[in-house]
Each structure stands twice: as structure tokens, then as C-alpha cells.
Structure 1
Amino acid sequence: MRIDFHSNVADRLSYCCRLIRKAYQADNHITVFHPDSRQLRILDEALWTISEQEFIPHASADSAQSKYSAVLLTAAEPTPVQTDKTSILLNLSQYTPQQFAQFERMIEIVSRNEDDIQAGRQRYRQYQQSGHELHHFQATA
């Protein structure tokens, strides 16, 4: 399994929206996990207004619309959706989701916050010891 770490992220919300847009435009299926439903509501609003000319169609994983959406937001432990598209998990939590290995790919976003950095390092080591294919991207802005 491929796991991409994006570190030194100044604005997690904006960065997350850009990654979701990129994955969506590449015709992937994206599940976004954050255990705090308040944070998911903020992300939900940001995805509707990513720019004046566009929005990213998305739904809550537990809603009736979820079966029609390529972008799902969930505060519950994520599970992949059966689809012919690449299944990506965007993990915005500070821990490793239990079912992460069932996805084809996972993206971790690590901000500049010290607690986030330490939790990210711990997850990186855990994935490395488990033999996952790791890639690291340093955010520049």
C-alpha cells in the first residue's frame, strides 16, 4: 500500500481542499476521515466554495447521497467503498485508522503544530515498520 505524507502544511484546510480537488479530478474515490464532526463541517463548507468557479461534489459517508459521490466525509472509522476507481483515504486524524490497509492508497497531512508533527512521526515509523510504500512531500507554502 502506498502512503503519502504531506508535512509542514501551514493551512490544513486549504491544502486538504487542493488535494481532494486533485484526486477528484484524477477520477479517484476519496474518503476523508476526521473524528471531529465539527472539523468535517468546516471542510464541507470549504469544498463548496473552493473557488468562485467550482465546487467539489461530496457527501457525508452516512447520507443517502453517499452512493453517488466520489468524495465522502466521515467521522466514523472509514471503510473503502467498492468502486472501479482508485480508493484513497485522506486521514486527517492524529492516529492510524483501523481499516486503512483496505484502501489502495492513503494520504496523511501533517501541519506545523508540534503535537501534529510528533503524531505524524509516530505514524510514519509505524507504517515504515509494517513495510508500506512511503512517500514524503514537504509543503512549501
Structure 2
Amino acid sequence: MKISFYVLSESKAQDFLGFICQLTQTALNKSAQSLLILVEDKALLSGLDTALWAQDATSFIPHQCLLDNQTDVDMAASKSVTPVLLGNHMPTDFNGIVLNTTSHPVNDFMAATSNAKPSRVLELIKPDTASTQAGRDKYKAYQQSGYELTHFKV
């Protein structure tokens, strides 16, 4: 699995929702895979839900919010209608791109009985102490798992 860390500048962090929308649109333009945005903060989830519907004046990013107990999603049907999923967990059969806004590595969201095999993970690191430390911890966890790691300063 390929893991890309995006270390956000102060200005990008101030427009966190805008950056997530921009990265989501870029990922959708470059890949035919579904995208899961992992969010643990309910306020961020609500804001992101609104922001994706109003990406800009002439477009929107179709998406679906997963319910807390919803582990099974028909990915084939979902992909044709809503290529983006938002939630605080990973569906059992998810195998697309994961944009992780949480403080935990994606491995923590893949249950032992899960068939989920993300193809790529996009990690967002804000320029604050807590996010930077969580990023370091995730980097170390992914490195120990032998994943291919890259990072970008944006």
C-alpha cells in the first residue's frame, strides 16, 4: 500500500475543508477508484458534508455519509452513484483510496475480519503539535508495516 503524507502550511490548515475538497477532486480526477474520507470529529464531518456539496459554483462532489454501524456498503453500486464516502470507520469490503483526517493510522480501522484493502492512503498533517506528533506516530507505524511512504509539503 502506498501512503502519502501531506504536511499542510498554516494557510492550507486555515482552509482545511477547502484543502480536503481540493484533494478529493484531484484524487477523483486521477483515479477511477472510490474514495473514503475518515473523519473522527462530528463537526468536521458535518462541515465537510456541506463543503463537498458546494465545492464551487458550478460543481459538487457526490458523496454519502456512512452511519456509525454501517459496515457493509455495496461498493459497486455506491461507486456509480457516490464515489466518495465519509465516515468514522471503514466498510468491510473497501478497496479504494482513503483520505485520513484522524489521528490514527488506517490499519486501526481495518478489523481483523475485514476484507478491506485500501490501494492508497492520503494522510493530512496540520502544523500544530498534536497533529504533527500523530503524523510521526502514523509514519512510524506505516514504516514498520513496510508500506511505501512519500510526503509533500503543501
Flag the 1:80–1:51 CA change in 2: closer, same or farther, 3 A.
Answer: farther
Tell me by how many angstroms 1:80 deviates: 5.7
TM-score by length of 1: 0.84
Paired position in structure 2 for 1:90: 99
Q: 2:56 aligns with which of 43, 51, 60?
A: 51
Specify the code of the residue in structure 1 equivalent to 2:96.
S
What residue number does 2:147 align with? 132
* Correspondence for 1:16: 20
Note the C-alpha offset of 1:28.
2.3
- Residues paired across the two proteins, number: 135
TM-score, normalising length from structure 2? 0.78
After superposition, where does 1:1-141 map in structure 2 within 5 Å? 1-9=1-9, 10=13, 11-26=15-30, 27-62=32-67, 67=78, 68-75=81-88, 77-79=89-91, 81=93, 87-97=96-106, 98=108, 99=110, 102-139=117-154
Q: Which amino acid aligns with 1:78?
A: M
The 3 A distance-change label for structure 1 pair 4 and 54 is same
Q: Aligned AA for 2:101?
A: L
SS where residue 25 of structure 2 aligns?
Answer: helix
Query: Structure 2 vs 1, CA of residues 116 and 46 (structure 1 numbering), >3 Å: closer, same or farther?
Result: same
Q: Which runs of 4+ in 1 moved over 6 A?
A: 63-66
Q: RMSD value over aligned CA atoms? A: 2.4
Distance 2:121 2:47 in 1: 21
Give, in angstroms, the shift of residue 35 of structure 1: 1.4
Identity of aligned residues (%): 32
